[in-house]
Structure 1
Amino acid sequence: MAFFVFVFLPLALAGCSGSGADDGNATMAVNATDPQLAGALQDQIMVDPQLGRQANGDSIRPPAQPYSGAVPSDAVAANTDPLDTNGLMKAPAPIAAGKDCTECAAARESVTLGGLAARQKNAKSSQCAASLTYSAAWAQRLPADLPLFPQARVTEAAGTEAGKCALRVVSFSAAQPMQILLDWYYTRAVKAGYTAEHQLDGKEHILGGTRARDDGAYVLFLTARADGGTDIDMVANNGI
């Protein structure tokens, strides 16, 4: 039996060595014909030293704290303009939204900003929705008379200036309670010559209106957050 062991062991090792050589040749062939794969195989692996220390890979104990993956605070990507609540007019109490509230249905059923804009009662807003493009920069291009709320944090924005369109659609949040946002936008809308109607659809408040001189229109959908702040979707068309 020992004789067979000594005979076949070298053969087995030789077989393994041959297989490795073939694999190396195959890899070299792939590298020669596929430069992207070659680069991926030869590039150095990037390591984040901060996350490496969090991994605690050399210890038999679990990490001392959870890995950092927290949602950024409202101070991140925010409008940093100071908030002035002096001289705000009080928004009227909401009236219950009826079955003919197209904005209410749009807010409930739309899953994108484009879908929300397309279902607005204002004809120009709905027609321009087809040419919307998405970029956070549109949040800073709202009409000057209905700008982004101070200290608001933008989550998504879209807009278009195709043809005669001047449509903006923005989703944002604010740390302030809903009543402050209602009063702030109501005051600005009325002073800019818009009408202002306040409706309530379940827990969602809708503030919207129009302006005859330029066919301007706006609508805000506001929902209170558990932390005391407010989530807002805003659609604005035309404006100064």
Structure 2
Amino acid sequence: MCKPILFTMLALSACTRPDEEPGETVDRDPVIAAALADPLLADPDLTGQNMGGAALTGGGPATAPIPPDKRGRDESDAALAAARDLLGGTIEPAPPAATKQTASRLAGALTAPAIARALGLGTPACADRVDYSAIWAARLAPPFEVYPRGHVGQSAGTDAPGCRLRVVGFSTPVAPDEVLAFYATRARRAGFAVARRDEGADSVLSGGKGTARYAVAARDRGDGLTEAILVVSAPGSAATPR
């Protein structure tokens, strides 16, 4: 039976993070590792926090399967430890689901524009302007970078005037609730609203701040991995100078 949603088409992930302290090492997805930062804004207030050192030199998204040694308990523990380090040692729980429904709006959403619209972000005129490239994963801004040690498959986005949109997915051996807790903590600390809803097998965290809005959907894939998708829309923001 076919799996619904972009989790089939865009099983993504990347590893961007704020500027590291001297001597600190960071594990990054191979697709993201070889690059030079080229930041994007999710919100004008976040410009000064852009991650330095995590972008791409080119090429498309990674397509190789995640090896078994990246799916086990050791890798999950390492990813959770990296997430805690980013948050100063404390990850706050995600809120309980305010609503629950049996069907996911992501079912049948097989393209980045369809996923953005299913999650309530990006007008059709904006979402339909995205293009697919791994560079968009590297251009996510705090607090919505890919989960530490995540693995990107594909990503899409646009920087068209008045239409800043990112649709980036990733895979991680960390459980869906832990992934949502990480983003809930980062979103709250950055001043974003945080709400949760459950739709079928998908749990969705969403909220906004000013003109910037985000949604994070996560589900258990059933093979030791969580698949997640990040959608960030900031129509009123502008890209930082390059």
Per the TM superposition, whether the score is higher than 0.5 is yes
Residue 168 of structure 1 deviates from its aligned partner by: 0.4
Amino acid in structure 1 at the alignment position of 2:67: S
> Is residue 136 of structure 1 aligned with residue 139 of structure 2?
no
> Is the Cα–Cα contact under 8 Å of residues 138 and 168 in structure 1 kept in the other structure?
yes
Q: Does 1:152 align with 2:140?
A: no
- For 1:228, the equivalent position in structure 2 comes to 224
Structure with the largest fraction of helix: 1
Structure number, greater radius of gyration: 1
- Work out which of the residue numbers 165, 168, 173 in structure 1 matches 2:166: 168
Contact 2:134 2:155 in 1 (8 A): yes
> How many residue pairs are counted as aligned between the two chains?
161
User: 1:84 and 1:119 mapped to 2: Cα distance?
Assistant: 28
Q: Whose relative contact order is higher, 1 or 2, with alpha carbons under 8 Å and at least 6 apart?
A: 2
CA positional deviation for 1:228? 3.1
- Is the Cα contact below 8 Å between 1:143 and 1:236 reproduced in 2? no
Paired residue for 2:94? 91
Residues 127-181 of structure 1 deviation map (CA, whole Å, 9 limit, x = unaligned): 4212101001111111222111111101110000011221100111111111210
1:219 to 215, 221, 227: 215
User: Alignment partner of 1:90: what SS?
Assistant: coil
Note the C-alpha offset of 1:94: 1.6
What is the TM-score with the length of structure 1 in the denominator?
0.60
Report the alpha carbon displacement of residue 98 of structure 1 after superposing the two structures with TM.
5.3
**Percent of aligned positions with the same letter in both sequences?**
27
Aligned counterpart, 2:196 = 198
SS at match of 2:83: coil
Gaps of 5+ in 1: 1-69
Aligned CA distance change for structure 1 residues 224 and 130 (closer, same or farther; 3 Å): same
Q: 2:177 matched to which residue of 1?
A: 179
1:94-145 deviation line (CA, Å, top 9, x unaligned): 233359x9xx42x1121111211234434x4544212101001111111222
Residue in 2 that maps onto 1:237 = 233
Distance 1:119 1:126, change over 3 A: farther
Runs (4+) of structure 1 exceeding 6 A deviation are: none
* 2:111 corresponding residue in structure 1: 112
